[in-house]
Chains A and B, each alone.
Chain A
Amino acid sequence: MNKNLGWKLILIIAAILVFVYGVFGVPSGVSGGALANGLLNPSPMRNGIHLGLDLKGGTHLILQVQVNDAVNVDTDNALQVLKSGLKNAKVASADVSKPDPTNHPEQIVIKGVPPESAADLRTIVEDRLPEYSLVSSANNTFTVTMKPTNLADLKSRAVQQAIETIRNRIDQLGVSEPIIEEHGLGDYQILVQLPGIDDPARVKEIIQSTAMLEIRQVFSGPYASQEDAYKSGALPEDAVVMPGKNNPDGSPTFYVVSRIPAVSGKDLRTAGPGTDENGRPAVSFTLTAEGGRKFYAFTSEHVKDLLGVVLDGKVQSVATIDEPIRDQGIIKGRFTDQEVKDQAMILRSGALPAGIKYLEERTVGPSLGSDSIHAGIRAAVVGMAAVLIFMLIYYRAAGINADIALILNLVILLGFLGYTGATLTLPGIAGVILTVGMGVDSNVLIFERIREELRNGKTPPSAVEQGFAHAWVTIVDTHVTTIVSAIILFLFGTGPVKGFAVTLSFGLFANLFTAVFVSRVIFDWVLSRKRIGEALSI
C-alpha cells in the first residue's frame, strides 16, 4: 500500500499542476496582476477562459435569411430564359409567370403552349435549365419547378453566402472574437455575437450595406489626370472627380461623376460571370426589387447619358444608357474570364443574397458585465468559504481532507474550461458555485458512511474501505443522472444556458476524481501514519 501511495500522490500533484496551467498558463510571478495576465491571455496550447457576452458586454443578434428572395432571383432568370426561348420558337402566345412568388418562388407556370410546341419547350428546359423539371397539365399548361435537391442546395448556399458577407462587413468593426454562425434552432437562422460592441443599430446598418458597388452618372471623362478633369469646364454642382480603372499601360484615368450614386451596394442582390452582346466576358449583376425600381427611374430620366459602374471607389466601366434598365445589368469592360470571375466574387461577397429579418436582439452594456462578474465572484467566495468552514467544524481533521478535495475540484474545473476554451457565462459562474455545493455531497456521503462503520465497531482502515465501497455506488448513480440532465441542457440550451451545462458537467467529472480518488489517497496517507489501534479524527 505504501509504494502505491507514493505514486498516487505524485499523480495528484501532477494533475494539480496540469490544471493550474490550464487556467493561468505559466505566470511570470505570483502577484495578482501576473495571475490575471495569465488568465486572460491564452497560449496556443490552452485557449484560455472566454467570457460570455453577459459578462463582457456586447451585442447578440439572431437573423433569418429570407431564402425565398434568393430563389426568386434564380427563377426570375429562368423566366427570362423561357420567355426568350419561347419567342425564338415562335410561340408568341405563351404566358409565362410565377403564380406565387412569396410562398412558392420555385414555381413557374406557362399557359397557352400549343401541343406542337411542347417538344420545343421541353428542349429549352432540358438544355438551358437543367436544375428545373417540367410537368405538363391540362389546357396546354406546363409547370416548371426547380428540382428539390437544387432548391435545398440554393437555400443553404444563400445562408452560407450571407454568413460570409456578414463576416466581411463585420470585420470592418475590428471586433475581437466575433461569432457568426448558423443558428441551430430554426430554419435559415444566423447567430451574430459581437463582444465589446454595444451599438446594435450600427451593426445592423453595417450588415445591410456595402461600400463596394455603386452606379453613378458620368458627366465627362476619361481624363489623364485630376487637373485635366478640373480644367475641363465648369463642373456641375453635385459632381466629384473619381479615379477610374487604369489604362492597360498602367496610366491612371479620372472621371467626373455625380456625388450621389444612383444605385449602391445594398441594392445589389448577386453577381455572376456573363457575356456582353459581343460574347466577351462581362460581369452580370442583379439588383433588389427596390434597387431595380430606383435604377429604372434613374435610367428612364437619363437615356442617352453616360453611366459608370464604380467598384471600390474606382470607375470600372462607362456605358451609354440605351434604354431604361430595371434590375438586371452587365458591367462591360476589358475583362478576362478570370477577372470576371474574381470581380463577380468580390461583388457577391459584398452582396447579401437575400433579405434578412431580425428575430432577436440583445445588448449588454460593459458596466453591467463587470458588475455581474463582481457579484458572481463575491457569491462564489462567500458560498465556498461557508462550505469550507463548516466541513472543518463538522468533520474535524477529515474536514481538511474534504476541503482539499473541494479546492482541487475547483482548480480542475477551471482548468478544463481553460483547455477547451469554453465560454464562462453568468449562469456558468452559478454552475461553478452549484458544483461546489453538490461536490461536497460526495464527501458527505463517504464521511457519513465512515462514521457509521466506526460506530458499528469497525477499525479505521476497514471503516474507510467500507465507507468508500458503499458510497461509490450511490455516487455513480447520482453523478450519472445529473450529467444526463446537463447534457440535455447543453443540447437544448442557448448561450448562457449552454455555459451553465458545460461548467456543471466538467464540475461533476472533476468531482468524481477528487471525491473518490484524491480523498481516498489522503485517507490512506493519514492511516499509514497512524499506529494500529489509534482512532481516526472524523
Chain B
Amino acid sequence: MAGEGTRPTWTKKGSSSVEFFRNPNIDFLGKKWYFIVFSLVFSTAGVLSMLFWHGIPLGIDFRGGTLVYVKYSHTPDDNAIRAAMDRAGLKNVRIQTYGGTASNEVLIDVPQANDQAALEHPREQVIGALSSNAPAGKQDLNNTSSLALTSYLMQKDPLHLGTDAQQRYTNSAQAITNFRDKTKGGVLASFDELKGTAEPAVLTSIEDGFFLSDFGVYQVEIVGPQVGAQLRKQALLATLYSLLGMLIYLAFRFEWIYGVAAVITVFHDTLITVGAFSLRDYPMSLTVIAAILTLIGYSNNDTIVVFDRIRENLKLMRREKLSDIVNRSINQTLSRTILTAGLTFLTVLALFLFGGEVLHAFSFALVIGILIGTYSSIAIAAPILVAYQDWRSDRNRPPVVPAAGGGRREKVKAKA
C-alpha cells in the first residue's frame, strides 16, 4: 500500500485527527504461542481453583438457603452474631460484612436446611435470634412492617378515632416506617428521632408497645431446594441453547469451522470468567448468569467482526497465504476492536465502581468478560481457523472458504 503522502487525504487539513492505530501491522498469528501460554495459565488457575480450592461458588439462587441482610446502628460484632445464631440452633452460618466499612451492614448466610419446615419461618428465626435482649411483650420497631404497625395502632386507638381509624393509622404507620427506612436507612437509634413524624399520642402509644433493637433487616432471600434445582437447570439450558444458536447462525453465515472456532472461543471466555469467580470466591447468582450470557454475546460480536473482515479479504486477496490474510484482517479491524472494547469497558467500569453493592458481582463478570472476550477473538478464534486450514492442507484436501454471503460454496486453492 502506498504511503500516506502520495494520495490526497480527505480529513480536515491542518488538524491531525486523534487516531490510535493508523496502520498497524502486527503479526498476531506469529505470537500465538504467547497467547496460548497466557490462556493456559489463566484457565488452569481457574480450573484448579474450581476443583480443589473454592469450587464453583454458587449463590443462593442455585444452592438454596437463606440470606438475611442486616443493618446495624453501630459496628456489628461478628462473633456475637454467630453466637446468637448458634444459640438459636442455626449452625454453620456464614457472616460477611457488606457494603463499605461505614455502612455497618452484615450479610447472614444460613445454609440450606433439609427439612421443608425450616423454609416456613427462617426470617423470623434469624430476627428472633438476633434480638437477644428483647423485653417481654414488646415488638421491635426497627423490624416491624407498616402493616403490623397499623394493626397495633388500630387496636390501641390512641387518638380515639373509632370508625375512621383505618386510613388515619395507615398513614401514620407509613409515615413512621418511611422515615425509618428512607431517612434513617432502616434503623432507628432512639424514639426521640420520631418526633414530628406523627401525633404525640400516637408516638407515646408506640413507645409503650415497642422497643428499639440495634438492627434492621432490609432484605431477605429464601430459596427452597426445589427452586434451587429448577434455577440451576434453567441456567444450564439457557447457556447451552445460546451456544447452539450461535453455532447454527455462524455455520449458516460462514462455514461450520467458523462456528466451531467461535464456540471454542466463547467456552474459553466462560471458563476464565467462572475461574475468576472461583479464585475470588464470589458467589454466582442468576444475574451473574445473565452477565455471562451477555459476555458470550459480546465476545461473539467481536469474533464476528474479525470473521467478516477475513471473509471480505479472502475474496479480495485470493493469492495470498491464509495466515497473511488473517493477520491483515485483524490489523484492519484492530482500531475498531480496541475502541469498542475500550468504550464498553468504560461503561462497565462505571457500573463496577458506581453501581452499588447489589450489582457488584454482575459488573465484575462483565469487566473480566469484556477484556477476555476482546482478547480471545484475536488470540483464540483466528488461530483456530488458520490451524484448521493448515491441518486440511497437510492432508491435501482443498481448503474451505466461507461463501460470499449467500450459501454458494467456492473452493479456492490457497498457496501453502
B-binding residues in A (CB < 8 A): 54, 62, 64, 173, 185-186, 197-202, 357-368, 370-372, 374-376, 378-380, 382-384, 386-387, 390, 393-396, 426-427, 430, 433-434, 436-438, 440-441, 444-445, 448, 451-452, 454-460, 463, 470, 473-474, 477-478, 480-482, 484-486, 488-489, 491-494, 496-497, 500-501, 504, 535-538
Contacts and interface: CB of A to CB of B under 8 A. Distances in A.
A270 B241 CA distance: 44
Interface in B344-371: 344-351, 353-356, 358-359, 362-363, 366
B301 interface: yes
B286 A197 contact: no
Contact of B17 (A396, A485, A489, A504): A396
Contacts of B18: 393-394, 396
B181 to A, nearest CB: 4
Contact of B305 (A371, A445, A496): A445
A433 B347 CA distance: 7
A437 B344 contact: yes
Contact of B308 (A365, A378, A473): A473
Interface string B13-25: 1010111000000
Contacts of A434: 294, 344, 347-348, 366
Given A185-B234, A202-B148, A359-B224, A368 B242 contact: no
A427 to B, nearest CB: 5
Contact of B119 (A358, A365, A396, A491): A358
Nearest to B340: A441
Contact of B340 (A198, A199, A370, A444): A444
Contacts of A62: 227
A362 to B, nearest CB: 5
A202 B69 CA distance: 19
A115 B124 CA distance: 60
Contacts of A379: 350-351, 353-356, 359
B208 interface: no
B286 A497 contact: yes
Nearest to B306: A474
B35 interface: no
B258 to A, nearest CB: 11
A448 B334 CA distance: 10
Contacts of A470: 312
Given A481-B246, A497-B287, A538 B343 contact: no
A375 B304 contact: no
Contacts of A463: 10
B253 interface: yes
A488 B308 CA distance: 24
A147 B223 CA distance: 35
A432 B287 CA distance: 15
Contacts of B119: 358-359, 361
A481 B347 contact: no
Given A434-B366, A489-B293, A484 B246 contact: yes
A448 B119 CA distance: 57
Contacts of A366: 178, 181-182
Contacts of B349: 383
B9 A493 contact: no
B220 A474 contact: no
Contact of A448 (B124, B336, B362): B336
Contacts of A380: 350
Given A362-B220, A367-B186, A454-B9, A430 B362 contact: yes
Interface in B181-202: 181-182, 185-186
Contacts of A395: 17
B237 interface: yes
**Can you list the 10 inter-chain pairs with the closest CB atoms, starting with the nearest?**
A375-B356, A199-B145, A383-B350, A383-B347, A437-B344, A365-B218, A492-B238, A437-B347, A457-B7, A485-B297
A433 B351 contact: yes
A124 B88 CA distance: 57
B204 interface: no
Given A197-B147, A437-B346, A488 B10 contact: no
A493 B253 contact: no
A496 B61 CA distance: 13
A64 B182 CA distance: 34
B268 interface: no
Contact of B241 (A390, A486, A488): A488
A386 B181 contact: no
B218 to A, nearest CB: 4
B304 to A, nearest CB: 5
B187 to A, nearest CB: 10
Interface in B207-226: 216-224, 226
B273 interface: no
